[in-house]
Structure 1
Amino acid sequence: MPKQAKTIDYLRLFASSSKELISEKFYDVMDNDSLDLSKYNETCNEITVSDPKDRVIIICKKFLNFLENSVVLYDENAEYDVSILLNYWIYDKLIAIYGAKNIEKIRFAFSALQFAWDYYKYTPKNISYHNKCKPNFDVVNHQDWEKRKELYDYYVDYKTLHGTASTISSKCEEYYRIIKKKISLYEYFNKHCSPIKKSCPEFFEKCEPYNPESFIYSLPCHNKITQEFASPEAAKRDHASQEPARQVLQSETSYDTASTPETSEIGTKVGHSVLGVAPVLLISTALYRYTPIGSWIRGIGGNRTNSISYMNGGEMEGFLPNPQESGDMLFGDTGNYISYQPM
């Protein structure tokens, strides 16, 4: 019989994480090394994997612990699939152990974790959740897995990024730059997903509506950031327009003529402005309104006046000015959870 151990409160771990984005919070919780995982010794110590076995055993224990105790984090109607995040977390850890080129060792380790998933006996609180969270090597085994992971992480984090950048001025520039970096990611997958979608991630269609190019110009700090780069970009364009004439002049005189200071690059670099730490109240507001964490934190708060129960309902008016603006709920009953539906 597996050893009895104290139940892990994943809601509290998630709420207490210092990370702001949902995907980052998930990986942060999975990386927690302060948990009592002795309950899973019997199952995970028996797995057969390539050395260093002890490091894979730790992954096994964390995986089983999450599977058994975190069912409340999953809902079939949720906008995103926790099992995909879980598989990417496992794959990332195994690559760190064996290296990206040792695919067979990684595949073997996935098989061992599948065995542990099947062998470990407990009563699932949600059968479909248990079945869905089986380690699946095929989900993550792609040469561009890092880009796929980045895309799915962005999909999970979209509402936090967009909502916070739109409403909290002190965070706008930071999140704007995060969002802007995803433009090249979408260009990559648009190229690989059209017209043949064989090499396209299964979840790409869900991600398509959140292409940054469709909304980044509407963020409050867009004009400020583009103006910061206006002068250097203008200089670069001016330099580019002068380049053909300079090349013609050089070809008419001598190929060995060295360029003069007048023909050197005009462009200059503008440093990124350093953002201050956002006020705690504003950040908290964003977390409550744009992530599932609001309902979880209020669930932890018990029966306090302004708390909202994350499981069995409760007062919402004490915290949100208009509970109905949250729309459909993400985690659990639609009457009891804050929406996490992407805009």
Structure 2
Amino acid sequence: MSAGIPQTGLAKLFGYTPKELYSEHFYQERELPYLDLHNYSIHCNEVIVKGEKGHVRDLCKRVLKYLKESRKYQKPTSGYDECILLNYWIYDDLDKYYKHNTENMNIAYAGIEKIWNNLVNDSYQRSYYQKCVPLFKSILDHDDWKKRKELYDYCINYELIGQMSKFIDEKCMQYYGYIEEKAELYDHFEKECLSHPDTCPEFYNKCKDYKPEKVLDTLICHEKIKAKKVAALQNSQRQAPESGPHASGTDLTQENSQIGTKFGHTVLGVAPVLVAASALYRYTPVGSWILKLGGYNQNNVSNMNGEELDGFLSNAQGSDGMFFGGGENYISYQPM
């Protein structure tokens, strides 16, 4: 059940570009448009599912085809375990079709599992007997099953790409990012295996040797990638728009100046009216009517002497008085 370098004949035969990574190659072969799947209908047509029955039947047939054509199962001592890949492939496929509905996924898996178990445990079924078995409890019945699948895929793939990336620059550049992005995955399982050692993936100890921070600096393109990252960072810093107190302060000063000018013009327009109204109030009945129309307090105006009016006008005309001393005093008048 373990494998060496993937054979690419089937994918090419069906017009597909063969996958290079071990896990991707295995998954690709399970999904090819085989013409003999109808041979497995006798077992799979009665599969118990909840929705997507046609797809689950097809999935069941593909599982049985693989089992029939594979060898008797023996847990490999080296390489990778195709039985683990088969179980992950089935569950991942159900996850896509049922849109992450775990209940429906588990019902469909159980439907396939029942047929599967009956065949591999029946000594009269020579084509299936003692072959790969369902591994739901051991590898799939976990909330983080998808992360476990990703970790297993990465670990078996690294055995291929790790060696290539140490000596072939092109392969190193191709797979460096794939290796680097697994750092978060390792962070997850370091915490998980420390807090729940009983549920830690069985393959985790072997995978620890492929942790990105341990292997990246052993790859032939490591220094080149580092230099590119430094250059990209420096370039982005040079191209970044000016920011800081000077740039923002200039914009704010211009904006405040415009707002202040508008408000100043308004005040200067009001001031003569106020002075005229005060004079009219003192000497004519019309003044009282103007002040009432403008909403001004008659007592306040009547108490203003000439010197106070002069002071008011000088304040209104200045640029640093009460109306212009700070943006917070007039910013709300912008709509004018």
The whole-number CA distance in structure 2 between the counterparts of 1:187 and 1:28 is 29
- In the TM superposition, what is the alpha-carbon distance from 1:192 to its structure 2 partner? 2.4
- How do 1:138-177 and structure 2 match up within 5 A? 139-177=139-177
Instruction: Tell me which residue corresponds to 1:179.
Output: 179
**Could you tell me whether the CA contact under 8 Å between 2:155 and 2:210 is conserved in 1?**
yes
Which amino acid in structure 1 is aligned with residue 208 of structure 2?
A: E
Change in CA separation of 1:222 and 1:126 when aligned onto 2, cut-off 3 Å: farther
- How do 1:263-342 and structure 2 match up within 5 A? none
Change in CA separation of 1:63 and 1:201 when aligned onto 2, cut-off 3 Å: same
In structure 2, which of residues 123, 126, 142 is the aligned counterpart of residue 123 of structure 1? 126
- In the TM superposition, what is the alpha-carbon distance from 1:68 to its structure 2 partner? 1.3
**Could you tell me whether the CA contact under 8 Å between 2:166 and 2:220 is conserved in 1?**
yes
Number of equivalent positions: 240
The whole-number CA distance in structure 2 between the counterparts of 1:209 and 1:96 is 31
- Structure of higher RCO (CA pairs closer than 8 Å, 6+ residues apart): 1
Which amino acid in structure 2 is aligned with residue 119 of structure 1?
A: N
- How do 1:40-55 and structure 2 match up within 5 A? 40-55=40-55
Change in CA separation of 1:119 and 1:199 when aligned onto 2, cut-off 3 Å: closer
Change in CA separation of 1:180 and 1:193 when aligned onto 2, cut-off 3 Å: same
Change in CA separation of 1:225 and 1:109 when aligned onto 2, cut-off 3 Å: same
Q: Does 1:34 align with 2:37?
A: no
- In the TM superposition, what is the alpha-carbon distance from 1:211 to its structure 2 partner? 0.8
- In the TM superposition, what is the alpha-carbon distance from 1:133 to its structure 2 partner? 2.4
Please provide the CA RMSD for this pair: 3.4
Instruction: Tell me which residue corresponds to 1:311.
Output: none
Instruction: Tell me which residue corresponds to 2:211.
Output: 211
**Could you tell me whether the CA contact under 8 Å between 2:11 and 2:32 is conserved in 1?**
no
CA offset digits 1:297-327 (Å, max 9, x no partner): xxxxxxxxxxxxxxxxxxxxxxxxxxxxxxx
Give 3-state SS (helix, strand or coil) of 1:215's partner: helix
Change in CA separation of 1:11 and 1:180 when aligned onto 2, cut-off 3 Å: closer
Instruction: Tell me which residue corresponds to 2:96.
Output: 96
- How do 1:129-140 and structure 2 match up within 5 A? 130=131, 132-136=132-136, 139-140=139-140
**Could you tell me whether the CA contact under 8 Å between 2:84 and 2:135 is conserved in 1?**
no
**Could you tell me whether the CA contact under 8 Å between 1:67 and 1:133 is conserved in 2?**
no
- In the TM superposition, what is the alpha-carbon distance from 1:237 to its structure 2 partner? 8.7
Change in CA separation of 1:225 and 1:204 when aligned onto 2, cut-off 3 Å: same
**Could you tell me whether the CA contact under 8 Å between 1:114 and 1:135 is conserved in 2?**
no
Which amino acid in structure 2 is aligned with residue 144 of structure 1?
A: D
- How do 1:189-200 and structure 2 match up within 5 A? 189-198=189-198, 200=200
- In the TM superposition, what is the alpha-carbon distance from 1:14 to its structure 2 partner? 7.1
**Could you tell me whether the CA contact under 8 Å between 2:67 and 2:128 is conserved in 1?**
no
Instruction: Tell me which residue corresponds to 1:106.
Output: 105
Which amino acid in structure 2 is aligned with residue 182 of structure 1?
A: K
The whole-number CA distance in structure 2 between the counterparts of 1:195 and 1:77 is 28
CA offset digits 1:179-236 (Å, max 9, x no partner): 1111222122223222442453232122111112112112111111110111333577
User: Whose helix fraction is larger, Structure 1's or Structure 2's?
Assistant: 2
Identity of aligned residues (%): 33
Instruction: Tell me which residue corresponds to 1:66.
Output: 66
- In the TM superposition, what is the alpha-carbon distance from 1:119 to its structure 2 partner? 3.2
Give 3-state SS (helix, strand or coil) of 1:184's partner: helix
Give 3-state SS (helix, strand or coil) of 1:68's partner: helix
Give 3-state SS (helix, strand or coil) of 2:194's partner: coil
Give 3-state SS (helix, strand or coil) of 2:220's partner: coil
- In the TM superposition, what is the alpha-carbon distance from 1:257 to its structure 2 partner? 8.4
The whole-number CA distance in structure 1 between the counterparts of 2:187 and 2:150 is 13
TM-score using structure 2 length: 0.62
The whole-number CA distance in structure 2 between the counterparts of 1:226 and 1:118 is 51
